[in-house]
Structure 1
Amino acid sequence: MPLNRWAEEHSKELIAVAALTGTLAGGACHLAGAPDAGDWLWRITLVATLVPLTWSVVRALSHGDLGVDLIALLAMAGALIGGELLAGSVVAVMLAGGNALEAYADGRARRELTALLRRAPQVAHRRDGDDWEEVDVASVAPGDVLLVRAGELIPVDGVLLSERASIDASSITGESLPIAGERGVKVRSGTANAGDAFELRASRGAADSSYAALVRLVERAQSEKPPFTRLADRYAVIFLPITLALAGLAWALSGEAIRALAVLVVATPCPLILAAPIALVSGLSRAASAGIVLKGGTALERLGSARTVLLDKTGTLTRGRPAVERIVAFDGRDGDDLLALAASVDQLSAHVLAEGIVHDAERRGLSLTTPRDAREQPGDGIVARVDGHRVGVGGKRWLLRQGFAAANGSAMGAPLDAAGGRALVHVGVDQRLAGVLVMADRPRPDAANLVAQLHAAGVRQVAMVTGDVAEVADQVAEQVGLDRVYAEQTPQQKLAVVRAAREHPELRPVVMVGDGVNDAPALALADVGIALAGESRTVSSEAADAVITVDRVDRVAEAVRIGRRTMRIARQSVLVGIGLSVAAMVVAAFGYLPPVAGALLQEVIDVGVILNALRALRP
């Protein structure tokens, strides 16, 4: 990183170090018998702090914002003019230190779209006569014929030209199971090819395709979110007029400007400057220890008053990967034996359902064998030899074409269908269909108590917002106990749900929780966006205010609890600190507390406030 860029990013920390160094150096000069040099060091410290502070306050006032910095500016300017240089330098250290803490707390609050743009397809394979040429995706025009290889992202919106295709749309639509497409079906950019290579005819250019529209949605959502007023500034609106009234009254009644200065020095809002940032930094640290990385204190403040939590389904409330829900074995075959044979073959398959089959077999403690002579048709199935048996795993029609005949007892099995978010994987053994594995996306075990935990933490409404079909969404919602369900929602419609909740006075602030690309716009617009990234970091992490780094959705309730407790401690520290400062201001107004003594008393108040704020570190 270039030095000038590093200095710009850490300017507040550098100012704090400079203010502390100048104040200590000035004090050392006084102790060494060089008071003039010490005074000049304090003057330099004050001026060096006042210049950027004045510019910041003027800029804030031009926008109609009154904050804690204005009181500090008046105190430091008064100390410089009145010759109370030590008191002014101490105020400068407190102000610069508080700003540095706040910069540290918000240092990770960068809303970048880099991951979203990085995930976007960069090249496409376009037909050129009888050959395929690799071209920049931006050069693709409507009507071009493209080849999408296995595992690649679809570069532009188009129409399928091949007979069949298997599409993984989980990151865009939220559907956890692969979608089987046939010739003529429309496919969306940003989805992935989960099967064999296929051809499509582009219907739009890259700039007009679905994925580019999603990027623009995230950008607009981020700019739509209004600026946030920090806790300290909200209290400063009340504290500022009280301070100015007391200082003016003390000067008017006594005729001594030094009393007004003493009031301003004691009133320097160090409890506001220090208490809230320290409590927030402590809360951020506490959250990180629980696997919740918050991108700044603003997110923690909003979590502390959250009233609505919106949850995505796939990968958030559910595991996001299909698992074996039921085994239907034909002709009296043992179900575990059937699963072991299927999982043995699927060890060599890259299909999304194969991973779930292998995982479930291992979870049940079944012994798997390394298959031989494997032959896979991506998207359709795989055939191999396992322990002397010819075993096929895949779709029923494909297995029949591979020579596996329907079993005599197959009609005696339980009624089977692929509705309700389920997929059927047929298994053939030794030339006969031996059974069916019913696959479904299961709710997370820790999701069962999530709603109750959120309600107990003070959240009024917990709802699901998903792109999956209503039947599947309703089943999951019933198992988890959600208050409301929004199913079959596009990214634009998810935005509308978040926007409507934020406009309702009793439902905001709004927390949105998701893990996929389709959640990114809603995460960006919500008051707090939380991304689940336990196993893989997705684009949602870039659009969110917080990332849960462990694979547990119940950490959402923990984040709300930490936010509530942190803000309670921060408010307590601020109010107690302000109360003590007001008492000291009254004493200073009557002339019993000179500026330097007032600055030192303020330090004692600060220590008490800091110790209380640090309680947010504890569970």
Structure 2
Amino acid sequence: MSLTGLCLGMALHVAGQPQATGTVWALAVLPVIATLLVEILRSLAQGEFGLDIVAALSMSAALIFGENLAAAVVAVMYSGGSFLESFAEGRARREMRDLLSRVPRMAARYCNGGLEDVPLDRITHGDRLLIRQGDVVPVDGRITSASAYLDNSALTGEPLPIRLPQGAEAMSGATNAGEAFDLEATNDAGSSTYAGIVRLVEAAQRSKAPMSRLADRWSLGFLAVTLAIALAAWGLSGDPIRAVAVLVVATPCPLILAVPVALVAGLSRAAHFGVLVKGAGPLEAMARIRTLILDKTGTLTDGRPQIVGIESREGLDKDEILRLAASLDQASKHPVAQAVVAAAKARGLALVLPHDVAERPGEGVTGMIDGRRIAVGGSAFVADLAEADGLQSQCGQVVVALAIDGRLAGQIIMADALREGADEMLAALRAQGILRILLATGDRADVAQRVTQGLGLDAVHADLSPGEKVRLVIGEHASAPVMMVGDGVNDAPALAAADVGVAMGARGAAASAEAADVVLLVDRLDRIAPGIEIARRAKAIALQSVIAGIGLSVLGMLAAGFGYLTPVQGALLQEVIDVAVILNALRALRIVPQTPRATATREPAPPPLENVHGADLPASHSRGAADRS
């Protein structure tokens, strides 16, 4: 509206309609002033002084004393800066839609001998639901099928799925990692585990201190200087137009424009490196971070079973053991079997199709490969079918045993391993000025200690509930600004409470992505350090623009106070200053992080078994017995 009014008034001026020109310019300014007054009252109610006061004073004074063109120019500059900020934040929000598409909103309920899809708020205690493979459990309930295979990593931090027997309780927010099963609802959606975590997120967001904008932190001092010069010019000269000229020159366009431009450019650069920042406020906050808190499963670790060792018992090559196991496991949907197949393909091994396949659900598979009878599965499963003396596993590992023609041939050792380059990533973060790095996980203490051995973390906190993670974040915030990084539903409250919450968006839970201020669009933890570097350099460029622009504005205010500039000339001078600071702010588009990033993920060479830093999982998580997990 302000831009249209300015252009229309200029057209009328050229057409020789001076009376209409002034009216149009005034009408273009009034909506901006009205909006500013609302913002000023809202800010004052919160005890804050923003840039809105200076801008409202300059436009109001210009209109009162008939300097309508100057008022219209200021209105265009102010509304343009506000639009830039809202546009950047709106674009970031739109990019979040796909990430949030996984939030469960419907469930399949048995009704009149069939199935119907119903909204979550219509599920009541006692309803029988079908949980399909890959579905998120919508409400707390009791398993009525023979068993269910659930991935609770998003809720508890436990890295691998577990098999629950009939009658066991399943928590909402868990993912069905196995075959479809029936669930009897024991809570409605509003009373379930997932809903409780969402309420905890909302409470954390309400208690979180609002982010103060960089521009607002300069505004109070600038307002005092402006009023002092304007009143002095009016009092000493007796000419109110000089005061108007001072106010017009003082319109804080370097703050209004340069800061958003630099920060929007920083948002763009961060997105280029796979770091989606939800607005200028979080980007500013990233530049101040001094403490980093990391989740374990799916964040510091990969969150999926990986091969960390292969043992041979019959003199077979280790790759041959993996090839045979993966060839047979192609016939199984079990997550561990699929991980074995994926690892074999990653190594370029040629898999063959199995024949005469028979699977014992949750335990193992038998079949014919290259004319030999092969058995692959948990230790107990293979021990029932073959001579398997000496089979053993260490706590914290998943063992996949392989038997050939009735004799044990080898074992594949799997664990939830650290992400590749984790130590280099932590070193890069310390180089960026991070003073404290902590681990916060819902997993067991012995698991956390084993995984983080040698990383040089400042503290390791395990067995934490979502509420305890929030309290840890709040406690660390008392000493320094805190960044929390996580991917699970149980991390969402802590992400909301931190100064900056960072979610792993590629495979993380939708709740954490929604609660976070920053989302990593690629499943790479090494993007955090470049993101922080971009934030700090963008903020530095914004500060340079502010200091230069405010310095030039003060000189212009002094010239206007001594009568050397009229209000319109002051507005034009301010435009020249604006162009200069905007061009400087645009340098943020060319930021290239110097922080080294890890190379593309590759399959690490299997370390010796005694040196494995795998997750310390319960013994029941071996692939075998009733679990095969």
- What is the TM-score when the length of structure 2 is the normalising length? 0.87
TM superposition shift of 1:51: 2.5
Which residue does 1:371 correspond to in 2?
Answer: 354
- Within 5 A, what are the aligned runs for 1:231-380? 231-380=214-363
> CA–CA distance in 2 between the matches of 1:574 and 1:448?
38
Is the contact between residue 194 and residue 379 of structure 1 (CA under 8 Å) also seen in structure 2? no
Letter in 1 for 2:345: E
TM superposition shift of 1:287: 0.7
> CA–CA distance in 2 between the matches of 1:23 and 1:202?
62
> CA–CA distance in 2 between the matches of 1:315 and 1:49?
48
Which stretches in structure 2 are left out of the alignment for 5+ residues? 592-629
Is the contact between residue 304 and residue 567 of structure 1 (CA under 8 Å) also seen in structure 2? yes
- Within 5 A, what are the aligned runs for 1:434-513? 434-502=409-477, 504=478, 506-508=479-481, 510-513=482-485
> CA–CA distance in 1 between the matches of 2:28 and 2:132?
64
Larger mean Cα displacement after TM superposition, 599-608 or 106-115: 106-115
Which stretches in structure 1 are left out of the alignment for 5+ residues? 1-17
Larger mean Cα displacement after TM superposition, 480-489 or 24-33: 24-33
CA deviations 1:14-52 (Å, max 9, x no partner) are: xxxx22222233223323433333223222222232222
Is 2:378 the partner of 1:406? no
TM superposition shift of 1:567: 1.0
Is the contact between residue 266 and residue 602 of structure 1 (CA under 8 Å) also seen in structure 2? yes
TM superposition shift of 1:487: 1.4
- Within 5 A, what are the aligned runs for 1:59-98? 59-98=42-81
- Within 5 A, what are the aligned runs for 1:427-438? 427-438=402-413
> CA–CA distance in 1 between the matches of 2:251 and 2:105?
54
Is the contact between residue 272 and residue 574 of structure 1 (CA under 8 Å) also seen in structure 2? yes
> CA–CA distance in 2 between the matches of 1:515 and 1:605?
44
Letter in 2 for 1:214: I
> CA–CA distance in 2 between the matches of 1:538 and 1:47?
43
Which residue does 1:419 correspond to in 2?
Answer: 395
Q: Pick from 565, 569, 573: which aligns with 1:597?
A: 569
Residues 117, 561 of structure 1: alpha-carbon distance in 2 compared, 3 angstrom cutoff: closer
> CA–CA distance in 1 between the matches of 2:537 and 2:554?
26
Letter in 2 for 1:448: D
> CA–CA distance in 2 between the matches of 1:262 and 1:603?
14
Is the contact between residue 394 and residue 425 of structure 1 (CA under 8 Å) also seen in structure 2? yes
Letter in 2 for 1:440: A
> CA–CA distance in 1 between the matches of 2:230 and 2:189?
64
- Within 5 A, what are the aligned runs for 1:162-241? 165-182=148-165, 185-196=168-179, 203-241=186-224
Letter in 1 for 2:393: D
Which residue does 2:104 correspond to in 1?
Answer: 120
Larger mean Cα displacement after TM superposition, 384-393 or 175-184: 175-184
TM superposition shift of 1:373: 3.4
Which residue does 1:587 correspond to in 2?
Answer: 559
> CA–CA distance in 1 between the matches of 2:62 and 2:133?
71
> CA–CA distance in 1 between the matches of 2:144 and 2:34?
66
CA deviations 1:278-337 (Å, max 9, x no partner) are: 111111111111111111111101001111111111221121211111112223333221
Residues 322, 230 of structure 1: alpha-carbon distance in 2 compared, 3 angstrom cutoff: same
TM superposition shift of 1:276: 0.7
Is the contact between residue 145 and residue 166 of structure 2 (CA under 8 Å) also seen in structure 1? yes
Letter in 1 for 2:480: L
CA deviations 1:162-186 (Å, max 9, x no partner) are: 6654331112112111224456654
> CA–CA distance in 1 between the matches of 2:411 and 2:249?
77
Larger mean Cα displacement after TM superposition, 464-473 or 189-198: 189-198
Is the contact between residue 195 and residue 379 of structure 1 (CA under 8 Å) also seen in structure 2? no
TM superposition shift of 1:364: 2.2
TM superposition shift of 1:122: 3.7
State the secondary structure of the residue aligned to 2:457. coil
State the secondary structure of the residue aligned to 1:598. helix
TM superposition shift of 1:198: 5.4
Is 2:505 the partner of 1:522? no
Is the contact between residue 127 and residue 147 of structure 1 (CA under 8 Å) also seen in structure 2? no
Is the contact between residue 446 and residue 553 of structure 1 (CA under 8 Å) also seen in structure 2? no
Letter in 2 for 1:405: A
Residues 56, 391 of structure 1: alpha-carbon distance in 2 compared, 3 angstrom cutoff: same
> CA–CA distance in 1 between the matches of 2:541 and 2:181?
59
RMSD: 2.7
Which residue does 1:21 correspond to in 2?
Answer: 4
Is the contact between residue 211 and residue 282 of structure 2 (CA under 8 Å) also seen in structure 1? no
> CA–CA distance in 2 between the matches of 1:285 and 1:531?
18
CA deviations 1:68-123 (Å, max 9, x no partner) are: 11111111111111111221111111111111112123225659999779633743
Letter in 1 for 2:252: P
Give the % identical residues: 49
Q: Pick from 523, 528, 531: which aligns with 1:559?
A: 531
Is the contact between residue 295 and residue 486 of structure 2 (CA under 8 Å) also seen in structure 1? yes
Residues 586, 144 of structure 1: alpha-carbon distance in 2 compared, 3 angstrom cutoff: closer
State the secondary structure of the residue aligned to 1:107. helix
TM superposition shift of 1:160: 5.4
Which residue does 1:5 correspond to in 2?
Answer: none
Residues 151, 271 of structure 1: alpha-carbon distance in 2 compared, 3 angstrom cutoff: closer
State the secondary structure of the residue aligned to 1:433. strand
Letter in 2 for 1:406: E
TM superposition shift of 1:590: 1.5
CA deviations 1:192-222 (Å, max 9, x no partner) are: 3334555666554443321221222222222
> CA–CA distance in 1 between the matches of 2:37 and 2:189?
48
Is 2:22 the partner of 1:48? no
State the secondary structure of the residue aligned to 1:605. helix
> CA–CA distance in 2 between the matches of 1:49 and 1:135?
48
Letter in 2 for 1:120: P
Residues 183, 51 of structure 1: alpha-carbon distance in 2 compared, 3 angstrom cutoff: closer
> CA–CA distance in 2 between the matches of 1:117 and 1:214?
18
> CA–CA distance in 2 between the matches of 1:277 and 1:246?
27
Letter in 2 for 1:96: S
Which residue does 1:531 correspond to in 2?
Answer: 503
Is the contact between residue 113 and residue 543 of structure 1 (CA under 8 Å) also seen in structure 2? no
> CA–CA distance in 2 between the matches of 1:98 and 1:50?
15
> CA–CA distance in 1 between the matches of 2:507 and 2:144?
35
Is the contact between residue 345 and residue 393 of structure 1 (CA under 8 Å) also seen in structure 2? yes
State the secondary structure of the residue aligned to 1:593. coil
Is 2:90 the partner of 1:107? yes
> CA–CA distance in 1 between the matches of 2:488 and 2:150?
16
Residues 440, 231 of structure 1: alpha-carbon distance in 2 compared, 3 angstrom cutoff: same
> CA–CA distance in 2 between the matches of 1:71 and 1:165?
63
Letter in 1 for 2:462: A
> CA–CA distance in 2 between the matches of 1:179 and 1:75?
66
CA deviations 1:489-525 (Å, max 9, x no partner) are: 22222122112222x1x322x1111122222222122
Residues 324, 76 of structure 1: alpha-carbon distance in 2 compared, 3 angstrom cutoff: same
State the secondary structure of the residue aligned to 1:524. helix
> CA–CA distance in 2 between the matches of 1:600 and 1:141?
66
